[in-house]
Amino acid sequence: MRSLPLPLALTARLSPVAVLACAGWVLASGPAAPPAAGHRTALAPAAGTSTAAPSATAAPPVYTTAPAPCAAVPAAALKSLVPGAEPAGKEIPSTDTELRRTCSWNALHGYDYRWLDVSFQIGASDQEAREEYEQRAAERSGGGAVPGLGDSAYSFVGLTTQDGQQTREGVVLVRVANALVVVTYSGSDFETRKAPTTDEINQGAIKAARSAVATLDGGRD
């Protein structure tokens, strides 16, 4: 088999630092900060009047720790999604492995290149995870909802071309209670210089996302 140079964009992705950026792993920066509570002014109570007031108790988060991301996709699924990749994958360093973890698999099988990232982010509350989900979905307009996956799910597929080489990338975002799952799946064919079809990449990303969501039970409180 003749040796083919990887396009610059894909070559950069093979660097551990670039992996973090290309996967869109803004999770390492931490979950979005909750809005500050509004300031409230009250008159001083009369003598002998109790100042205690009932307060609502927020429900505890469903998930407290991020599951092991490299165990999120079964070996059989990985074999079809990323042929030739090591099933163990490679976990990306995180600033807080309790709340944010991601794993990557990539391989060149013949002339076909595939890349898969699976990431978990655990928020302090459902609201925090919902806001993060909505922000990320808004940044990738043009996608669509994925019915029956988590509390809400969104998929997006895009095509890029560099030096005549096409690469198609799919992203699936899933929110389940206070957890966020992010799957990135991409592919190229270095013989035809074409990318896999939109359906292949989209369905592959959704398949990985379903497996990743199923592993969240290990992070339940």
Asked if residue 184 is part of any domain, the answer here is: yes
Examine residue 149 and state whether it is found in any structural domain, yes or no. yes
The string of pLDDT tens digits covering residues 197-210 is: 999 999 999 999 99
* Neighbouring residues of 207: CB distance < 8 A, sequence distance ≥ 6: 77, 81
Q: Could you tell me if residue 36 is inside a domain?
A: no
In a domain, 196, yes or no: yes
In a domain, 210, yes or no: yes
pLDDT tens for each residue of 146-171:
999 999 999 999 999 999 999 999 99
Residue 90 resides in a domain: yes
Number of domains in the chain: 1
Does 11 fall in a domain? Answer: no
On whether the pTM is more than 0.85, the answer is: no
Residue 138 lies in a domain: yes
**CATH number, position 167:** 3.40.1000
Q: Which domain holds residue 104?
A: 61-219
At 50, the pLDDT band (50, 70, 90 cuts) reads very low
Backbone angles phi and psi of 198, in degrees to 5: -60, -40
Cα angle 104, 101, 153 (rounded to 5 degrees) comes to: 85
